Amino acid sequence: MTEVDGNSARFGGLFLQCGVDESGIGIWDLDLSTGDLFWSDATRRLFDVPLHEAVSLELFLSKLAPDDRERTRTALQRTIEGGSKFDFQYCIGEQSGGSHWVRARGGLVRNADGAPARVCGVVLDIDDQKQLEAALRARESHLHSILETIPDAMIVIDEHGIMQRFSSAAERLFGLPESEAIGLNVNTLMPEPDRGRHDGYLQRYKSSGERHIIGIGRIVTGKRRDGSTFPMHLSVGEMNAGGERYFTGFVRDLTEHQKTQAKLQELQSELFHVSRLSAMGEMASALAHELSQPLAAISNYMKGSRRLLESNGTPDIPRVEMALDRAAEQALRAGQIIRRLRDFVSRRESEKRVESLAKLVEEAGALGLSGAREQNVMLRFQLDPDCDRVLVDRVQIQQVLVNLFRNALEAMADSPRRELVAASTHASDDMIEISVMDTGHGFSDTTAGNLFQTFFTTKETGMGVGLSISRSIVEAHGGRMWAETNESGGATFRLTLPAAPDEGLPDVA
């Protein structure tokens, strides 16, 4: 290399160093043979060292916090011995109150023979980065504190349904610690048939983008770690981060709400019952008044006819015939009164539609099973997803299910073991069987023959019409209803309903 070339290289190096200094990036170089340390002007400014002050490795270490000094010595030694990268972050001037953050990076340079010659690198000002990280941590901590204190449970899942976040409220609600929940599929928290269908819902949404629940709250059934179920309100939001899709669900336990609603409905039912009794009393009074006239007339005409027939001489046949005709007219009048009453109180033809059996059981359970948790009743829904479509009057069948659920809870009030199971299965090609099993006191063989008789009851305050009406509703749907004693000594009520084609009801996810 000529002298001109050498001068050009030195001038080029100086210009490069000046450009790097002006950009705020410092340069450092540690000569391993002499121990001399070189700092560029930018490096001196970052470490608060005057331009006229000599620098050394000891000076560099003195600028560090005590805990960082030994770690830095160890890291330098590893770089020299093994060639590993040197990368440390330091808070400079922390004791003086004017602290700022820097990042020192470097690597090993070897001689031609491969021996370590020097360690050199750059120093970067990362104060803005650290302030941003601190702000993000503060914001995340604030958000975390909010999510941990709100009463609603929060669950975050990825697009495959795997749980990523599980709040403390969720731990309390589902009885599952976060350490076990993270990594599990969220369908673990669902009873059948929702558990078996959930992954399909996610896949369908990924392929079609059609929303059924996102952004719209709905009431569903949750499943705790112990297998018990409970009604809950679920709201789901969606977000995208780093090209990945995540769903956040907020869950509110509706057990107490449903219990309150059940009490209100019970009070309302009592008011309706009193109102019906009053109306029946008025109707009975009016009916007695209306029927008394034609019945009295029939009696008088028949007595008059008898006297005419028993009178001496030839009976007055025309008068007898007239009296009998009048009696017949009054009998027809009495029949018309009864028919008008029957038409007045008769129920219109029920409106049958294709319904989801799981949804019927879920909604009926939310009402009929309120208070089950407080009674330590283990609830299990074993519903076959392959027989979920039924052709029924929704209100009537829910009335039957609510009645069976409430009867089961009352039957288990004093039982040491309290377990209620609602299940469904195929009875035949066109019928589906539903069973409600409890572990209560059951019933005797004598009682079994009268269970569905009107006004027969085993309850002290019962009216004996619930099961009779329930069986009438089921039979009006073309099914049948019966009861049997199960292995635990409790009662199992079974009923059949007509199945409906799958295409009769769209998915309700």
* pLDDT tens digits along 152-211: 888 899 988 999 989 888 999 999 999 999 999 999 899 888 888 887 878 777 777 666
Nearest to 192 by CA among 364, 368, 422: 422
Tell me the average pLDDT across 343-349. Answer: 50
Q: What is the pLDDT of residue 357?
A: 93
Tokens read off for 393: 């009057």
The residues, any chain, with a CB within 8 Å of residue 174's CB and separated by 6 or more, are: 153, 181, 189, 222, 223, 224, 225
Tokens read off for 7: 């001068």
Q: What is the pLDDT of residue 299?
A: 81
pLDDT over 70 (residue 341): no
Residue 451, helix vs strand vs coil: coil
Is the separation of the CB atoms in 186 and 155 below 8 Å?
A: yes
Q: What is the pLDDT of residue 464?
A: 39
In the 8-state DSSP scheme, what is residue 499? B
Neighbours of 365 (CB within 10 A): 24
Residue 89 or residue 339, greater confidence: 89
In the 8-state DSSP scheme, what is residue 186? G
CA 68, 70, 76 angle in degrees (round to 5)? 95
- Cα-only R_g, the chain: 43
**Number of alpha carbons in the 13 Å side-chain half-sphere of residue 286:** 10
Q: What is the pLDDT of residue 28?
A: 92
Is the separation of the CB atoms in 400 and 461 below 8 Å?
A: no
Nearest to 154 by CA among 273, 55, 221, 236: 236
Tokens read off for 123: 């120093």
Q: Report how far residue 361's alpha carbon sits from residue 287's, in angstroms, rounded to the nearest whole number.
A: 41
Residue bearing tokens 């099973």: 369
Ranges 14-23, 160-169, 342-351, most confident: 160-169
Q: What is the pLDDT of residue 51?
A: 86
Task: Please state, in angstroms and as integers, the Cα–Cα distance from residue 443 to each residue in 65, 413, 452, following that order.
Answer: 81, 15, 13
User: pLDDT band for position 328 (50/70/90)?
Assistant: confident
- Phi/psi class of residue 278: alpha, beta or left (left: φ > 0; alpha: ψ in -120 to 50)? alpha
Ranges 86-95, 285-294, 421-430, most confident: 421-430
Is the separation of the CB atoms in 47 and 102 below 8 Å?
A: yes
Give the mean pLDDT of the chain. 80
Nearest to 306 by CA among 295, 297, 316: 316
pLDDT over 70 (residue 348): no
Nearest to 411 by CA among 326, 485, 337: 485
Q: What SS3 string covers 117-181? A: EEEEEEEEECHHHHHHHHHHHHHHHHHHHHHHHCCCEEEEEECCCEEEEECHHHHHHHCCCHHHH
Could you read off the pLDDT of 276-326 as tens digits, one per residue? 565 566 566 656 656 766 777 788 878 888 777 777 666 677 877 887 887
The residues, any chain, with a CB within 8 Å of residue 249's CB and separated by 6 or more, are: 154, 155, 156, 157, 186, 234, 235, 236, 237
Q: In what order do the strands lie in the sheet with 116-125?
A: 37-39, 26-31, 116-125, 100-110, 86-92
pLDDT over 50 (residue 11): no
Residue 399 or residue 456, greater confidence: 399
Number of H helices, E strands in the chain: 14, 17
Residue bearing tokens 């409106």: 351
Nearest to 359 by CA among 463, 167, 508, 155: 508
User: pLDDT band for position 117 (50/70/90)?
Assistant: very high
Residue 279, helix vs strand vs coil: helix
Q: What is the pLDDT of residue 307?
A: 78
CA 36, 120, 21 angle in degrees (round to 5)? 95
The residues, any chain, with a CB within 8 Å of residue 288's CB and separated by 6 or more, are: none
Q: What is the pLDDT of residue 105?
A: 93
pLDDT over 70 (residue 9): no
Q: What is the pLDDT of residue 182?
A: 92
Pairing state of beta strands 163-166 and 491-498?
Answer: unpaired
Peptide bond into 498 cis (omega under 30): no
Nearest to 73 by CA among 57, 92, 91, 90: 57
Is the separation of the CB atoms in 398 and 436 below 8 Å?
A: no
Q: In terms of C-beta density within 10 A (0-12 exposed, 13-18 middle, 19 or more buried), how is residue 52 classed?
A: exposed
Q: What is the pLDDT of residue 319?
A: 79
Q: What is the pLDDT of residue 282?
A: 58
